[in-house]
Chains A and B, each alone.
Chain A
């Protein structure tokens, strides 16, 4: 099956702890994205990557970090500097051939909760 997987489905973070959310795709897409969604809100872009070993900050990058060492993988780390991390996190990918005009394919999401 082709698609995007995210794990875990639920993640609990203790205060002061860093946690990493996984995102993997087998669609052979160059571009990958991380969004944060708060209840009743739209999507806010955290980070995006247009190609391996390169990524750019989105609108709310503070308190988050990413890496793009492989085309298939784009993990997101929520650091202890992110003081309000409780949210639904969505990963997406697109072909990367026409940025801003492409269909994005989304994973099922990870819900992060603070203990």
Chain B
């Protein structure tokens, strides 16, 4: 079953604005990952944050993890048209040694 659930599902913003999306999960985890998928393409790994990290940065990306609330957020700063994509969170599915992906957030950046 899918553990990660992103919120909101779809977001439309102007170029230069920030985009924030959230992911919640149900069971305790050691880490959480975020992936991006451009339309009709495979997923690309963006960032992994561990349970002992509260915040992590990678370029214009900022990820937070709140293990007490079982939630994570992905912030894209100064968005560009090229950031138009779907963004998925993924959590470990320890019972079967694999990842469980959320349903994704669709982000549209308007030039």
Contact = CB atoms under 8 A, between A and B. Distances in A.
7 contacts: A41-B103, A42-B88, A56-B96, A92-B42, A103-B33, A104-B43, A109-B42
B31 A42 contact: no
Interface string B86-111: 00101011101111011110100000
A64 interface: no
B44 interface: yes
Contacts of A56: 96
A2 interface: no
Nearest to B106: A40
Interface in A57-115: 58-59, 88, 90, 92, 99-101, 103-109, 111
Interface residues of A, number: 28
Contacts of B35: 104
B14 interface: no
A90 B90 CA distance: 15
Given A42-B88, A42-B101, A43-B88, A108 B41 contact: yes
Given A42-B2, A43-B88, A59-B1, A100 B44 contact: no
Contacts of A41: 103-104
A95 B38 CA distance: 24
Contact of B97 (A44, A50, A109, A111): A50
Contacts of A59: 1
Nearest to A45: B98
B74 to A, nearest CB: 15
Given A41-B103, A90-B43, A101-B30, A48 B92 contact: no
Contacts of B106: 40
Please list the 10 inter-chain residue pairs (A to B) with the smallest Cβ-Cβ separation, ordered nearest first.
A100-B92, A106-B42, A99-B97, A42-B103, A43-B101, A106-B43, A103-B45, A42-B101, A108-B42, A100-B97
